Amino acid sequence: MARSVTLSFPPFTRSIKTLIAINAGIYLFGLVLVAVGQGNLANIILSPLALRATNVVHGHIYQLLTYGFLHAGFFHLFFNMLMLWMFGSMLEVSWGSRRFLEFFLFGVVGAGLGTVALAYTVGSIIHLSPSIPTVGASGGIYAIFMAAAMLFGDQEVFMFPFPFAIRLKYLVGILAFIALVGALGDRGDTANVAHLSGLLFGYLYVKFVPARGLLFSFSEASYGFTNRYHRWKRRRAGKKFQVYMRKHNQDSSDYFDEHGNFRPPEDKDKKNGGSTGGWVN
């Protein structure tokens, strides 16, 4: 029996649709302004959103995020959104919309940070001046490539126009090599440094960020810190009260059990309600 090949498209998941709508909307907004003769206004509004290392180090840190939603032309936008859909959807299905969106923004910001750092360190080697603007979602896209390769590395994909399948881990290796050669070669219009930085931050996220994501980890850490702070305040207040009792020749054990918990004097003999352990504060 002959083997059949089934071609299917990935689903349009919620975060994918949201990101594509935002990117397409910003690009269309610029086109409309140019079409009605307001090209200067479009430049005034959109140009400050591009990533320039010189601006970032002087306080314009918002550019680390906003540059990822600007594109230099239709095909730049089209291919970035196509890759976002084709590869990002498998991550969103696996992780959920909230964590995927967090990951994509982490990749965009991480790629921006890498671009700024490299521009001020090895910029002369990779032909990247701190004043050169960078735009495009490629940093987040390459972070997606890395995550997909780490999680689904043996899955085979077809890359148009090549008529053969290739495993994701090999595809990402090829893309990383191309980005490295492009960064070291003569500078073109491709932000190869952002691509490499996106790969790095995609790896760091998958490797080291807990399964529930950064926001969940930060919220848990915040709750833990708040609880420790309140326990410290209670202990401090208890110690002050015990000092006050000693100054007035009263026995602090009339008000506190052996674990430092307050109890009314009439419950002195109950010893923490008969429990052998301390109360949980």
**Residue 15 main-chain phi, psi, to 5 deg:** -65, -35
Question: What CATH number is associated with residue 99?
Answer: 1.20.1540.10
Q: Which two tokens stand for residue 33?
A: 């302004």
Residues 143, 269 share a domain? no
Residues 250, 188 share a domain? no
Could you tell me if residue 1 is inside a domain?
no
Residues 93, 21 share a domain? yes
Residues 50, 122 share a domain? yes
Total domains, the chain: 2
Residues 158, 196 share a domain? yes
Question: Could you tell me which residues are beta bridge partners of residue 87?
Answer: none
Could you tell me if residue 214 is inside a domain?
no
Q: CA-to-CA distance for 175 and 172, rounded, in angstroms?
A: 5
Residues 142, 199 share a domain? yes
Q: What is the crossing angle of helices 14-35 and 74-95, to 10°? A: 160
Residues 263, 204 share a domain? no
Which domain-ending residue is among 209, 238, 255?
209
pTM of the model: 0.75
Long-range CB pairs of 63-68 (<8 Å, 24+ gap) are 63/112, 64/108, 64/109, 64/112, 64/113, 64/116, 65/105, 65/108, 65/109, 65/112, 67/108, 67/112, 67/133, 67/134, 67/135, 67/136, 68/105, 68/108, 68/111, 68/112, 68/136, 68/137, 68/139, 68/140
Could you tell me if residue 155 is inside a domain?
yes
Q: Which amino acid is at 54?
A: T
Could you tell me if residue 221 is inside a domain?
no
Could you tell me if residue 9 is inside a domain?
no
Which domain-ending residue is among 162, 179, 209?
209
82's enclosing H/E stretch is: helix 74-95
pLDDT at 4 over 50: no
**HSE-up of residue 274 (Cα within 13 Å, Cβ side):** 0
Could you tell me if residue 219 is inside a domain?
no
Residues 254, 135 share a domain? no
Residues 245, 129 share a domain? no
Could you tell me if residue 127 is inside a domain?
yes
Q: CA-to-CA distance for 130 and 163, rounded, in angstroms?
A: 41
DSSP for residue 280: P
Confidence of residue 113 (pLDDT cuts 50, 70, 90): very high
pLDDT at 207 over 90: yes
Percent of the chain with pLDDT over 70: 72
What is the reported pLDDT for 157? 80
Q: What is the pLDDT of residues 82-97, one digit of tens each?
A: 999 999 999 999 999 9
Confidence of residue 189 (pLDDT cuts 50, 70, 90): low
Domain residue limits at 234: 227-274
- Mean pLDDT computed over every residue of the chain: 82
Instruction: Give the three-class secondary structure for 258.
Output: coil
Which domain-ending residue is among 160, 176, 209?
209
pLDDT at 27 over 70: yes
Residues 164, 243 share a domain? no
DSSP for residue 134: B
pLDDT at 279 over 70: no
Could you tell me if residue 8 is inside a domain?
no
**Residue 158 main-chain phi, psi, to 5 deg:** -100, 130
* Percentages (nearest 5) of helix, strand, coil residues in the chain: 65, 5, 30
What is the reported pLDDT for 8? 65
Residues 258, 138 share a domain? no
Residues 192, 242 share a domain? no
What is the reported pLDDT for 271? 52
Give every CB contact of residue 189 below 8 A, 6+ residues apart in sequence: 72
Find the range with the poorest average confidence among 35-44, 116-125, 144-153: 116-125
